């Protein structure tokens, strides 16, 4: 990915995560309404507490991305977070846009992976090549 496009995507995704976090803080109960009943039943804490935790996580991911601090880790956690959101809320007319956010987060993560992590991943993919060396 070109450097400029990477930063556009990073800042755009950061604003999305930050703003969602703020909106959840404003009305955690309403956002909790998106959860499927089976998912609510699995929660060990109240729905409001879980949603406030989600708001903190969203804001942390957004802040990391905005400050360009460990963007690969923020994007990785963000992608897992969106996957969980899709699982527990189901894909509806509203949440379908999360698929776009998920892919954007994965793209950011792949593009900003530190060299050490990338090399480890390549080694895992091609073990024969490494043995030949």
Which residues in this chain contact another protein in the complex, by CB under 8 A?
7, 10-11, 14-15, 18-19, 22-23, 25-26, 66-68
Instruction: Compute the least distance from the CB of residue 23 to another protein, in Å.
Output: 7
Rounded to 5°, the CA angle 26-71-30 comes to 20
Q: For another protein, give the closer residue by CB, 97 or 119.
A: 97
Instruction: Compute the least distance from the CB of residue 62 to another protein, in Å.
Output: 8
Kindly tell me the sign of the dihedral angle through the C-alpha atoms of 118, 13, 64, 27: negative
Instruction: Compute the least distance from the CB of residue 19 to another protein, in Å.
Output: 6
Is-contact 70 14, C-beta < 8 A? no
Q: For another protein, give the closer residue by CB, 39 or 111.
A: 111
Q: For another protein, give the closer residue by CB, 14 or 74.
A: 14
Instruction: Compute the least distance from the CB of residue 127 to another protein, in Å.
Output: 38
- CB 3: neighbour CB atoms within 10 A? 8
Integer Cα distance of 1 and 4 in angstroms: 8
Q: For another protein, give the closer residue by CB, 94 or 132.
A: 94
Integer Cα distance of 88 and 94 in angstroms: 14
- CB 79: neighbour CB atoms within 10 A? 20
């Amino acid at each position: 990915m070109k450097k400029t496009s990477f930063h556009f995507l990073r800042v755009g995704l950061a604003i999305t995560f930050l703003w969602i976090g703020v909106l959840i803080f404003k009305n955690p109960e309403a956002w909790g309404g998106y959860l499927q009943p089976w998912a609510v039943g699995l929660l060990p804490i109240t729905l409001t507490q879980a949603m406030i935790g989600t708001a903190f996580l969203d804001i942390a991911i957004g802040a990391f991305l905005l400050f360009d601090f460990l963007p690969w880790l923020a994007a990785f956690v963000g992608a897992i977070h969106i996957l969980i959101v899709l699982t527990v809320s189901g894909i509806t007319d509203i949440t379908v846009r999360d698929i776009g956010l998920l892919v954007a987060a994965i793209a950011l993560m792949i593009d900003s992976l530190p060299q050490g992590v990338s090399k480890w991943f390549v080694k895992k993919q091609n073990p024969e090549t490494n043995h030949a060396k």
